[in-house]
Chains A and B, each alone.
Chain A
Amino acid sequence: MEKRVVFSNRWLPYLLVAPQLLVTFVFFFWPAGQAIYQSAFIPDPFGLKTQFVGLGNFEYLFGNRYYRESFLTTAVFSVLVTVSSMSFALWLAVLADRVIKGSSAYRTLLIWPYAVAPAIAGVLWLFMFNPFTGIIAWMLFQVGYVWNHNLDGGQAMALVVAASAWKQISYNFLFFLAGLQAIPKSVIEAAAIDGASFWRRFWTIIFPLLSPTTFFLLVVNIIYAFFDTFGVIHTITQGGPQQSTTILVYKVFADGFVGQDLGSSAAQSVVLLVLVGVLTVVQFRFIERRVHY
């Protein structure tokens, strides 16, 4: 796509793109280059000089049991966050779409958790599930279930999933509601007149027509779970217990800043860079297609 009518000026366009290019070079290409460069070196124990190891850091990384486990943890975490958040949001959106009176009040009450930071979501859930004083931990104890996510890896995972999914429900709800409202009512009414029950209408008509929204949200939620949930993990579990909630983004941070293993951390950055690239291409191709509909 090009404009027919354009301005011509020798220096103005360069001046206009200069600020963004400058920021992009200094804070994007320079660090990304550094990451790729550092991923090929290891510093000696005193940090005085570095030794070229080629792809050695990557070999070491993928040979490392903890890193491979972190991949698995990330996969489990993302799938759980995506599925639980999206299904709860879809359920609410289907209900809200049926409401005629007061739907805007419901919408208002459902969208504001979008504004809550992941780190704050972490603090709120940590407070409710505090093993000694938390209200929900106490309730669970009353029915005979001992909650301590500091000791139990499964409980820790459940807690970070719940906090992450909770924060993302609003976002999914808004997109599902918009998707539902775009479905022509006549199609659904026709099915209702033919005697199709609500669930039958949902699975045979509404859900298929909603699939572009569902697919878009799937990608967005996976990206969210991969990269935006650092605050949740860092406030609630710090990756523990025994690395059971160490997702990839948390590991880059833990190895780079806490463990000071810069070569490995840089190699992990490069791996993540490739992952984001792939996800973005998937997302972008999809958005482009939507634009042309």
Chain B
Amino acid sequence: MSGMVEKRGIGTWLTHGGLILGIAVICFPIWIAFVASTVTQDELVRPPMPLLPGPHLFDNYLEALMTGGVAPVWQMLVNSLVMALGITIGKIVISLLSAYAIVYFKFRFRMFFFWLIFMTLMLPVEVRIVPTYEVVANLGLLNSYSGLILPLIASATATFLFRQLFMTIPDELTEAARVDGAGPVRFFFDILLPMSRTNIAALFVILFIYGWNQYLWPLLITTDPSMNTVIMGIKQMLPTGDQTVEWPVIMATAMLAMLPPVLVVLGMQKLFVKGLVESEK
């Protein structure tokens, strides 16, 4: 028995060591980006770059926010926020409504509609990129929030999740509500919505990250710099032939672009894990 305890002691030590090593590997790129956002361009272009933060954090972040690249980063952050919230809220609202109809009503074409919606599970925007761009251009939605948001809320994942959830809600509740004289609208707002609260919150976390991190779509449809989102805007800042934006400013922008979704994940960790494991992506 004492042998096992001894082995356990070394084992525990190795376990923690391994985990710390893993975390170090995973955090290294972020640490480097953070350090780079606190020093000057001169310190970065002559390798090796410093491994500890310098005193220029404030200058670099201020320059990124106020000047940035083709557009100031504060404006890109606002655009990203509008887009992320628009996609998140839009998806949740239309999915709640359609899942409610499909589960709680009997009507012609019910299953047909369900399958129509369900088929969209299969087609990320990356796949239908050229024709979707043409449709959005024909509708005059280039360089607009509607153009950024609407094509990305056409997805079945959320509808499917809410359908699963509603199926687990006992019929007795519906019956009781009906006996009390509640119509479908009252039932939805007074019973179904409060019962779905945690699922909605969990989905909110996942969808916010999904919306915030969109890249290809805003890259295509926002040719006007004032409509750029931060995730695609940072690509325009990368040095090409005639370098204009300095690395510390680019890295400050990268840190700013990561901050909101990372804060959401860390702040709502329980809900995030729940949302992730339940929505299976």
Contacts and interface: CB of A to CB of B under 8 A. Distances in A.
| A and B associate in one complex | yes
Interface of A: 1, 3-9, 12-14, 16-17, 19-21, 23-24, 26-35, 38, 88, 91-92, 95-96, 98-99, 102, 106, 108-121, 123-128, 132-135, 137-139, 166, 169-171, 174-175, 178, 198, 216, 220, 227-228, 230-231, 234-235, 249, 252-253, 256-257, 262, 265-266, 269, 272-273, 276-277, 280, 284, 287
A284 B121 CA distance: 10
A32 B216 contact: no
Given A9-B184, A171-B276, A265-B130, A120 B234 contact: yes
Given A19-B98, A231-B231, A269 B254 contact: no
A151 B209 CA distance: 34
B47 A138 contact: yes
A34 B134 contact: yes
Contacts of A117: 212-213, 215, 231, 257-258, 261
B82 to A, nearest CB: 17
B151 A106 contact: no
B257 A120 contact: yes
B62 interface: no
Given A14-B107, A23-B150, A96-B19, A269 B265 contact: no
Contacts, number: 283
Interface stretch (B26-34, B64-72, B196-204): B26-34
A23 B51 CA distance: 49
Nearest to A34: B131
A109 B154 contact: no
A125 B107 CA distance: 53
Interface string B88-113: 00000111011011111111001001
Given A113-B26, A273-B123, A91 B184 contact: no
Contacts of A123: 234-235, 238, 250, 254
4 smallest beta-carbon distances between A and B, as pairs: A117-B213, A31-B131, A16-B101, A34-B131
A109 B98 contact: no
Interface residues of B, number: 101
Given A4-B171, A234-B215, A111 B265 contact: yes
A31 B135 contact: yes
Given A13-B107, A27-B151, A106-B19, A273 B100 contact: no
A120 B97 contact: no
12 contacts: A3-B103, A6-B105, A13-B110, A21-B117, A23-B94, A34-B131, A99-B12, A111-B265, A123-B254, A174-B273, A234-B235, A253-B129
B5 interface: no
Nearest to A232: B215
A23 B269 contact: no
